[in-house]
Amino acid sequence: MKHLAHASIARLCRKRLERFIRQSSDVQLPLAFERALTELTQIAWHNFSSGRYERLRRYRRTGQTLTSVQYVDLLIKHWCVEGERLRRLADHDDAEWTRLYGALAQRADRVLMRYRPNSAVNEAADLAQRTCEQIYDSFYPCDVPFDAWTGVILKNLARAPTRSKDALDKPHDSVDTTDPAPPLDGERSNPAAHLVSDRASREFDQVENRELLERALRKLSPLRRQVLELTYFEDWSDLRIARYLGKTVGAVQTIRHRALSQLRELLAVRE
């Protein structure tokens, strides 16, 4: 199917949104009409131009059709239902992120029993944290319920063979997640902040000469030093660091991996 032009998608979204409002007088849009139309048009344009609509249409059951009009109606429905929650998540609402993390942690327990029955006791919490991080970096397409979309992300991460590519974040038997570190004054808390690797923190704690460590840290680039200090001295999660620096979680992990390699070399030279 040939991609619809942006102007055609905008007209279609306007027509279907007006119809939705007329037929659903008890439903309130989470935004003013024009802002809602702009956001829905962007979502529809992304899904049509990326081929997502075509893939979904192809995989429908035999006899079930999904026209472009039906698809836009589907986007409007899910966007309206999930609008308030999506806005709170986008605004870094701590309570909403905590609710999402809690629901994912419960689901992670069940998923790991199926995909990794011998997983360590802390892996459900780790899986929920990484799912939150991926949700933060991902685009919600609004053509499936939000809970179903997050469930797919969680399952895909559970099927992955490794937990993390972080140099120090290696699997270990257990981690105490009952007493999360409080946020810094003036900073928002993060629902997954207490899941920073204990293994990595212990390796830093084992450096007896703090002055030696600080001299080595000063030889790193400002960005690498900042990522290490936020991770191990301030106990920030990758998600919180990524938000603070305006980078992706993957970029933060890469910076930390390179910083740790350089730091080990510096400390080895001085030993």
In degrees and rounded to multiples of 5, residue 134 shows phi and psi of: -70, -35
Continuous segment of H or E residues that includes residue 248: none
Mapped onto helix, strand or coil, the DSSP state of residue 258 is: helix
Radius of gyration of the chain measured on its C-alpha atoms: 23
> Is residue 233 pLDDT above 70, yes or no?
yes
What band does 104 get if pLDDT is binned at 50, 70 and 90? very high
* C-alpha dihedral sign at 9, 14, 16, 17: positive
> Is residue 168 pLDDT above 80, yes or no?
no
> Is residue 172 pLDDT above 70, yes or no?
no
Q: Between 110 and 195, where is the model more confident?
A: 110
C-alpha pair distances (Å), 33 with each of 4, 8, 29, 190, 222: 22, 18, 7, 32, 45
Q: How far apart are CA 18 and CA 225, in angstroms?
A: 53
Q: Of 146, 11, 4, which is closest to residue 68 (Cα–Cα)?
A: 4
Mapped onto helix, strand or coil, the DSSP state of residue 182 is: coil
Class level of CATH domain 196-270: mainly alpha
Mapped onto helix, strand or coil, the DSSP state of residue 65 is: coil
pLDDT for res 203 = 40
How many CB atoms are closer than 10 A to CB 168?
Answer: 17
Q: What is the pLDDT of residues 2-35, one digit of tens each?
A: 456 888 999 999 999 999 988 877 777 778 889 9
Q: Of 41, 44, 146, which is closest to residue 88 (Cα–Cα)?
A: 146
